[in-house]
Amino acid sequence: MLAFRIRGGYASSVTIPAKDAFPKPPSLGFAEAANLLLAATTAADMLRVTGVQAGETVLVHGASGAVGVSVVQQAALLGARVIGTASEMNFELLERFGAEPVGYGEGLEQRVRSLAPDRVDVALDTVGTDEAIDVSFALLRDASRIVTTAAQHRARESGLKLVSGPESTAYRDSVRSRLIELAANGRLVVPVARTFPLSDALEALRVLEGGHPGGKLALIP
Tens digit of each residue's pLDDT (9 = 90 or more) over 72-89: 999 999 999 999 999 999
- Same-domain check for residues 173 and 161: no
Going 47 to 156 to 170 to 180, the CA torsion angle's sign is: positive
* 73 found inside a domain: yes
Among the candidates 146, 165, 184, a domain finishes at 165
For residues 78 and 169, what is the distance between their CA atoms, to the nearest angstrom? 22
* 44 found inside a domain: no
* 46 found inside a domain: no
For residues 70 and 68, what is the distance between their CA atoms, to the nearest angstrom? 5
Among the candidates 165, 187, 206, a domain finishes at 165
In the predicted structure, residue 157 carries a pLDDT above the cut 90: no
Q: Are 143 and 137 in contact (CB under 8 A)?
A: yes
For residues 125 and 200, what is the distance between their CA atoms, to the nearest angstrom? 32
Among the candidates 141, 165, 189, a domain finishes at 165
- Same-domain check for residues 146 and 178: no
Amino acid, res. 193? A
pLDDT band at 214 (very low <50, low <70, confident <90, very high): confident
For residues 167 and 189, what is the distance between their CA atoms, to the nearest angstrom? 26
* 60 found inside a domain: yes
Range of the domain at 85: 52-165
For residues 201 and 47, what is the distance between their CA atoms, to the nearest angstrom? 33
Percent composition of the chain: helix, strand, coil (DSSP 3-state, to 5) = 45, 20, 35
In the predicted structure, residue 158 carries a pLDDT above the cut 90: no
- Tell me, what CATH number does 185's domain have? 3.90.180.10
Q: How many domains does the chain have?
A: 2
